[in-house]
Amino acid sequence: MTTFLTPQQLADRTSAAVEAAVAAGRELGLTVTDPTVLHDVFSVVVHLAPSPVVARIPTVLPRPDDLIALARRQQGELDVTRWLDNQGIPVIAPSPLVPREPVQRDGFSMTFWPFVEEDRDKEPDYVANAESVADLHAALRAYPGRLEFLSAAEPRFIAESLARLDQHPSLIGAAELDRARREWQILEPLVRSRRAFETRFPGIGLQPIHGDSPPANIFSGVDGDLYADFELVTLGPVEWDLAALGSEHEAAYNRGARRNSTRPLDEEVLGFVNALGMLRVIATLMLVPQLPELMEYLEPAVDQWQTMPFAGGMAG
């Protein structure tokens, strides 16, 4: 039987995250009298008002107790966004008011960012954003930091979730789980091994990429758009950042690539990342007990996955 967190448990988790962020912020010298929750989905994002600082506290995680791994990932985000900011790229960079490193408190690991006022009247233009991602990729090519190959795909999380989902029949049917496991047998070697990927896709250069659908993670600030949320920054093919977005967004990206004199998207690699991205969606079903509202977002994606080519055509 699958046990889901109750509304009260969800509220208590949010309150605990806010309290931890307030206490950590005060320890760092910030004045915090009116903390305000801005977002609460996978992370609690809280404005530590009146200080112009926002704390982001991940709360829905595959391994909530592994704060060391989480902090390592958070430091990667802090490093790459600080570097981009130094290159003059429009990005939400770490707050300069506190040390640029994760802070752990009361079982949470958090990072601190400047409060940026959102332009709430602006509707997101995801197609234009997709074209802009080519500009981001062009900038990231020079990033000197060390990044792991396709860590954003979270292969360990996929493998562990597929191994355990049969214990949760309310989340996925047996036939769907069987398909996912068979697809994973084909795709896993290509995401676990950079050498296997490069052998399968010769000539596809790897570079630093955002890692988490950047067209959907461009923040509309009152002073302009800013790249944001680099929590899954990784080394990989640029196609990963366009996974599952469709032909209109792919064409927009290719326009941006031509403008930057970089390569267009490769159709075969797109098939791979689309299939891999959908298996990550299947794996995310394991997080539904931590965040029950996720199910309404994941179910349509699972339905779409079943209409897609098996393993992105990699089986042939």
Neighbouring C-beta atoms of residue 139, cutoff 10 Å: 18
The alpha carbon torsion through 162, 197, 67, 86 (nearest 10 deg) reads -140
Q: How buried is 18 (Cβ within 10 angstroms: 0-12 exposed, 13-18 middle, 19+ buried)?
A: buried
Q: Say if domain 30-114 classifies as CATH 3.30.420.
A: no
Tens-place pLDDT, residues 225-236: 999 999 999 999
Length of the chain: 316
Q: Which long-range contacts does 173-180 make (Cβ < 8 Å, 24+ apart)?
A: 176/282, 176/302, 176/306, 177/282, 179/306, 179/310, 180/279, 180/282
What pLDDT band is residue 2 in, cutting at 50, 70 and 90?
A: confident
Instruction: Please compute Rg for the chain using Cα positions.
Output: 20
Domain boundaries defined on the chain:
30-114, 126-313
Res. 219: pLDDT tops 90: yes
The CATH-assigned architecture of domain 126-313 is: Alpha-Beta Complex (3.90)
Res. 206: pLDDT tops 70: yes
Q: How buried is 32 (Cβ within 10 angstroms: 0-12 exposed, 13-18 middle, 19+ buried)?
A: buried
What pLDDT band is residue 316 in, cutting at 50, 70 and 90?
A: low
Tens-place pLDDT, residues 172-192: 999 999 999 999 999 999 999
Q: Is the pTM above the cut of 0.85?
A: yes
